[in-house]
Structure 1
Amino acid sequence: MILPPEAASPAPEEDTNLRRIAKLERINAALMAHVERSMDQQGGAYSLFQTATMLEGRVRTRTEELTGLMHRLERSNAALVAAKEEAENANRSKTRFLAAASHDLLQPLNAARLSASALADLGLGPEAAAISGQIERGLQIIEDLIKTLLDISKLDAGVVRPAIKPVALGELLAGIAASFRPFAERKGLRLTVRGPDLAVASDPMLLQRILQNLVSNAIRYTRQGGVLVAIRHRGDACRIEVLDTGCGIAPAEQGLVFEEFFRGGAEGEGGEPGLGLGLSIVRRMAQALDHPLDLASRVGRGTRMALTVPVSLTPPERAVPSAPVTTRLTGARVLVVENDPPTADALERLLRTWDAEVCVHRDLAGVAASLAAGKSLPDLLILDYHLDNGACGLDVAIHLQARAESRLPVIVTTANHSPEIEAQVAEFGAQLVHKPVRPAELRALLTYLLT
């Protein structure tokens, strides 16, 4: 069938409409796609907004927690600082208390030791002499305990300032060995010092105390064999070893022996344990000197304590040897100024047993009155540093020195170990003796000064 011409192809107007419709569909599709993309972007932005809001809340919460923690830490730090200051103040107060208490305790102890020594010089029978010896040993233990407690307190408070100088190690160890050899021989032990004579850099008094404690401890806990003090040169350092053949220290106790009042299971001399302070003071002194201290021990075989000390390139000063005690000070005029009556009485009795002429006063006024009454000037002065009403014993020496034609020998006694007092006495040219006064030391010093 043949279509009419107008039905064979679309009319121009219809074709135009179809193209417009197609174009509108494309535009609509593009708009729909754009809208969909915009919706997706808005949905993502909203999600991001929600996430950011949530994170902000978490950050705010964590910040508040951290701020609170910082405030608590600040308060804790402030409390710790306050507690530290309080502890340091308490430690300093303890040191001052022990210093004052030790001075008051050493005064009657000084009088007791002088009296015990005077008693022993009276020619007692064997039983009385044995009792006198026991009294002397008991007083020595009390003195050592008081001084050790004071030393520990000073070291803990940082009061002790080591004075490092060259020390003749051989001479120091020879003196220690001479002091302890009778105790070793009494127990049937050998005490030997071996090694080169070196000069080391240390505080002589603190080093002596350390080595004395180590040797004493070794002898105390050794029943057979002996004790060896060995000096080993190691480059620019010196290793001082104290070896014994004693009972040894169990591994579980080796970390505890340096604690205060730790005595362990071993018994010391006479079947009695020590006070448990020797190694404690040794550790503190070694730390103050920066001298490493090592311990090695085997149960049943013995113990080795080793102290490492730097070698000194400067030779030590030669000490002036003290004169041997060979006289009884017969006829020597000795002036004693002491404000503690028991100490003054004990010292007077002791000096009289040595055949000295003794004049005792308690202050400068009494000395001045005695001189005004025609009393002769003394040959030697023994003066207590602390007198009544804040007076100083050196004032008596100054008063008498102005009237003497030559320099008067002066011995100053005190229970105060202050460096200022020591410097003042040394500047005056006097001899300082700390209380309790050891009678043998005093007699040797008197003999030396009066020779």
Structure 2
Amino acid sequence: MTAGSPSVGDEEASRRIAKLERINAALMAHVERTMDQQGGAYSLFQTAIMLEGRVRSRTEELTGLMHSLERSNAALVAAKEEAETANRSKTRFLAAAGHDLLQPLNAARLSASALSDMPLGSEALAMSAQVERGLQTIEDLIKTLLDISKLDAGIVRPVIRPVALGDLLDGIAASFMPMAERKGLRLAVRYPEIRVDSDPVLLRRILQNLVSNAIRYTGRGGVLIAARRRGRLCRIEVIDTGCGIAESERHLVFEEFYRGGGAGDEGEPGLGLGLSIVQRMATALDHALVLDSRLRHGTRVSLSVPIGASPTETMAGPAPIATRLTGARVLIVENDPATADALRRLLQNWDAEVSVHRDLAGVAERVAAGQPLPDVLILDYHLDHGACGLDVASYLRGVAHSALPVIVTTADHSPGIEADVAMIGAELMHKPIKPAQLRALLTHMLA
């Protein structure tokens, strides 16, 4: 071996050192990888702990919100029940007050009608007519307030059935024709021969209010009641050539007691309730109501009603014309003295023979005394001490062994009373009694 040349031992040592270095590098790389994995797992562990905390916090927050919402819902339910209870109480109060108010009003109207039948001077007749108009206004106000209260309380529930449109519109036009003629207005009606699906009572009330309003606020020209097909709907329109409504006021006309700037008949504004109750009834029926108007040109109010599938059926003809009731024996049972006296005077003006009693005991005494049985009965539903006028009808029908014709009068509009009256086949008239309707009904029943 020469000097400066590597020995075999040195080469072997170099190889071992190189191998150890490679092993060490591999071990270091493995350790580093292991440390990195442990660090990642630790980071994931820390992230999981943080997320769990956030989830717990959010869960507690949502739980608190749910409890708060439950408490709010409970408070809303309690407030809703309280409001409904108050609304029902208001409706019952108005119904009771309305009954007590309509009772003396009924006597006053009957007395005014009897007075107008007497030979009076022109000035007295004018005053009598003015009193009649005032009483009519009071009656309309009371009845409208009762109707609004019932609609708001949900007591009035529509009964949808097919309605012959032509008969309905012709009847409304006929009833308002005298009012239009007095003002020198034209009143026309146009319609297709169809049926519509609606509640006939509520639909008639809506259209009567619209036509009355149109005539009241129209000074010249006329009013048109028109119905047109629009697909599966019928659009019923009441169009007038009246004073119109300013654009700034249109959103107000359906509010209670809003009368606008125009004056109605004889320069007097209306009650401001007609369109308010129209909107409530249209909402109850789910009939779309649209108002369009131009100041000093006129107003159009449209009501969209579903068209019925059934063909139009012939309905009953007009009521017979009233005639005088000479010699007819009419028995009245009425516990309100003013109403009984006014009704007696009115019927005596029509040449009827009238017998007036307060209760069933008075009627029984009359029968026991051998007085002839009456031809027709006019009975107040609510008598003294909780008695009912229908008991008088049952008693006299039993004595006569026949179904004597009966008219039941009441200021109570409860559905139960209507059902009781219908059950015995009697006619129901709500107070205040309209003399013309009473006379026509009596003539028809005695024919």
Give yes or no for TM over 0.5.
yes
| Separation in structure 1 between the aligned mates of residue 183 and residue 146 of structure 2, nearest angstrom | 31
Q: CA deviation at 1:235?
A: 5.2
Task: Give the match for residue 30 of structure 1.
Answer: 26
CA 1:71–1:407: 2 relative to 1, 3 Å? closer
- Which segment drifts farther, 260-269 or 298-307? 260-269
Task: Give the match for residue 145 of structure 1.
Answer: 141
Counterpart pick for 1:104 among 91, 100, 105: 100
Task: Give the match for residue 357 of structure 1.
Answer: 353
The alignment partner of 2:296 has SS state of coil
| Separation in structure 1 between the aligned mates of residue 134 and residue 178 of structure 2, nearest angstrom | 19
Q: CA deviation at 1:236?
A: 4.7
- Which segment drifts farther, 416-425 or 437-446? 416-425
Contact 1:166 1:316 in 2 (8 A): no
Counterpart pick for 1:410 among 403, 406, 425: 406
The alignment's TM-score, normalised by the length of structure 2, stands at 0.93
| Separation in structure 2 between the aligned mates of residue 319 and residue 205 of structure 1, nearest angstrom | 16
Q: CA deviation at 1:107?
A: 1.0
Matched, 1:319 2:316: yes
Matched, 1:383 2:395: no
The alignment partner of 1:305 has SS state of strand
Deviation sequence 1:310-336 (CA, Å, 0-9, x none) = 344243352153221221x22222111
Alignment of 1:34-433 (within 5 A): 34-234=30-230, 236-312=232-308, 313-327=310-324, 329-433=325-429
| Separation in structure 1 between the aligned mates of residue 190 and residue 20 of structure 2, nearest angstrom | 117
The alignment partner of 1:402 has SS state of helix
| Separation in structure 1 between the aligned mates of residue 373 and residue 400 of structure 2, nearest angstrom | 7
| Separation in structure 2 between the aligned mates of residue 106 and residue 379 of structure 1, nearest angstrom | 27
Contact 1:166 1:314 in 2 (8 A): no
The alignment partner of 1:359 has SS state of strand
CA 1:43–1:311: 2 relative to 1, 3 Å? closer
| Separation in structure 1 between the aligned mates of residue 138 and residue 296 of structure 2, nearest angstrom | 31
The alignment partner of 2:242 has SS state of coil
CA 1:235–1:43: 2 relative to 1, 3 Å? closer
Where structure 2 has 5 or more consecutive residues not aligned to the other structure, the ranges are none
CA 1:226–1:320: 2 relative to 1, 3 Å? closer
| Separation in structure 1 between the aligned mates of residue 196 and residue 59 of structure 2, nearest angstrom | 60
| Separation in structure 1 between the aligned mates of residue 54 and residue 289 of structure 2, nearest angstrom | 56
CA 1:41–1:237: 2 relative to 1, 3 Å? closer
CA 1:434–1:317: 2 relative to 1, 3 Å? farther
CA 1:419–1:199: 2 relative to 1, 3 Å? same
| Separation in structure 2 between the aligned mates of residue 250 and residue 410 of structure 1, nearest angstrom | 51
- Which segment drifts farther, 336-345 or 26-35? 26-35
Deviation sequence 1:375-412 (CA, Å, 0-9, x none) = 22111110011122222211111111112154311111
- Which segment drifts farther, 430-439 or 94-103? 94-103
Contact 2:194 2:312 in 1 (8 A): no
Deviation sequence 1:357-376 (CA, Å, 0-9, x none) = 22111111111122112222
| Separation in structure 2 between the aligned mates of residue 169 and residue 10 of structure 1, nearest angstrom | 127
Percentage identity across paired residues of the two chains: 74
What letter is aligned with 1:161? R
CA 1:71–1:171: 2 relative to 1, 3 Å? same
Contact 2:193 2:312 in 1 (8 A): no
| Separation in structure 2 between the aligned mates of residue 123 and residue 232 of structure 1, nearest angstrom | 49
Q: CA deviation at 1:442?
A: 0.8
Q: CA deviation at 1:301?
A: 1.8
Deviation sequence 1:36-93 (CA, Å, 0-9, x none) = 3333333333333333332322222222211111111111111112212222222222
What letter is aligned with 1:16? E
The alignment partner of 2:330 has SS state of strand
Q: CA deviation at 1:443?
A: 1.3
CA 1:202–1:46: 2 relative to 1, 3 Å? closer
Q: CA deviation at 1:217?
A: 0.8
